[in-house]
Structure 1
Amino acid sequence: MTSFVASGLLRTQQSRAGLCQASRTRYRRFGRGVLARADDGSGPEITAGDALRAWESAQNYGQTPQEDGEMRVPDDKVFRILFVCRDNLTTSVVAEAILKDLIERRQYSKYIKVESAGYQVIPGGNPPEEFVNAMKFRRKLDITIHQARKLIPADVDKYQLIICMDTKSRNNVLYMKIGNPGTKMSEEKEKELEMKVKVLSQYCTIPKLRTAQFPSGEYRQAALGVMISSVVDGCNGLISKLSRGVDNVKRSEKDDGSATSQGSSS
């Protein structure tokens, strides 16, 4: 991915970069943000490299590197994860499909369940064609059958980990519980809630990606590729955290099975 970004040939619309908290001044300062007319004549555009650097320089609340330590699998031995973006048609769907694929490859499906939702959705909607095609081409994954579903307050309690695609989504999830006038939470409960609601970029293994934003919306082909590659990195970091707890459970099950077998034979 680095070589493509460094080439400066990948382009994304300025409006998309705006969602990544970018600005013309910042692009010029990086020396590579020459604004040019889009090929289709729709107006100025910027390189995906510039957009990525804008992601890297963002300093938002809740976007510090993920702390060390393993994630403990719940007592029922099933860890439930929910990805959240605005529309549940774009970036959260990509993350759900990628993490599910990584889980299946590691044979963790018994222990980790993954879903996605959105806070402003048209229930039953399907992912845009460009996202479907990009996932088929880059990851050999089919997301055509996905149907958008709306995030509800009960989801916040149901899942052990809620991974938001950008800070705005995280704020919406937190507000759904903390900002609800009918909900009273202790300071301790609020802290627990904030600990379980994360931003995906916190799990990226590449330090420069740990401030990345993956907002819902339209992506140009090149920017879509950068986003997918970055989400893959984040999901790899996430599953490495989860794997420690899962491996402990698997070893425990194996030991219990051996003990039961020995007890029966005696």
Structure 2
Amino acid sequence: MIKVLFVCLGNICRSPMAEAILKNLLEKEELSKEVIVDSAGIGHWHIGKQPHEGTKNILDQNKITYEGISARQVQDSDWDRFDYIIAMDTQNMEDLRAIREKNDVKVRLFMDYVEGEESNDVPDPYFTGNFDYVYDLVTEGCKGLLKEIKEQNQLKEEK
């Protein structure tokens, strides 16, 4: 069982969007039993809340469920529970390193999985309001991450 954790600042926009999109891709490829996906935030402000309205709206438009997703804060135990911890921007990566400097979990920037993009950061639509652009980036990145997970773990090929 492979476990992926997406991390952003408050866990109501980018990381729950990535969680929902990757879960949707896994379901389409019948890999939901092989890969577990979760999301968390650096901060505690939104614990227990559903995704932001903008995130819910863009996921609804694309017929992707976010049922059961609610904000939580990153915990020290996440390093022991997850195989991949994916930071949505460079500040999240720095914050994760400050929480736990030494770890053997694969901690990467989300944008490492988006080809052709120069930025290291997925812009935070909580501040920019541009949920459409973020949705496109996150969809592309989730496809890239899934490709890597399948290759590294010898999971079945795309249908």
Q: Report the 3-state secondary structure (helix = DSSP H, G, I; strand = E; otherwise coil) of the residue aligned with 2:12.
A: coil
Q: Does 1:241 align with 2:151?
A: no
Higher helix content, 1 or 2 = 1
After superposition, what is the alpha-carbon deviation per residue over 1:186-220, rounded to whole angstroms, capped at 9, x for unaligned? xxx5xx45xx110111011x32x252412442342
Note the C-alpha offset of 1:249: 5.5
- 2: distance between equivalents of 1:144 and 1:105? 17
Q: Aligned residues: percent identity?
A: 28
Partner of 1:153: 76
Which of 132, 138, 142 aligns to 1:231? It is 138
Partner of 2:60: 136
- 2: distance between equivalents of 1:143 and 1:219? 21
CA RMSD of aligned residues (A): 2.0
Partner of 1:203: 113
- 2: distance between equivalents of 1:143 and 1:117? 14
- 2: distance between equivalents of 1:106 and 1:202? 22
- TM-score, L = length of structure 1: 0.54
Structure label with greater radius of gyration? 1
- TM-score, L = length of structure 2: 0.88
Partner of 1:218: 127
Partner of 1:83: 6
- 2: distance between equivalents of 1:142 and 1:219? 23
Superposed structure 1 runs of 4+ greater than 4 Å apart: none
Whether the 8 Å contact between 2:123 and 2:134 is mirrored in structure 1 is no
Q: Report the 3-state secondary structure (helix = DSSP H, G, I; strand = E; otherwise coil) of the residue aligned with 1:197.
A: strand
Q: Does 1:127 align with 2:51?
A: yes
Q: Which runs of 5+ in 2 are unaligned?
A: none
Q: 1:225 to 1:249 in 2, by over 3 A?
A: closer
After superposition, what is the alpha-carbon deviation per residue over 1:44-85, rounded to whole angstroms, capped at 9, x for unaligned? xxxxxxxxxxxxxxxxxxxxxxxxxxxxxxxxxx11000000
Whether the 8 Å contact between 1:132 and 1:144 is mirrored in structure 2 is no
Whether the 8 Å contact between 2:12 and 2:49 is mirrored in structure 1 is yes
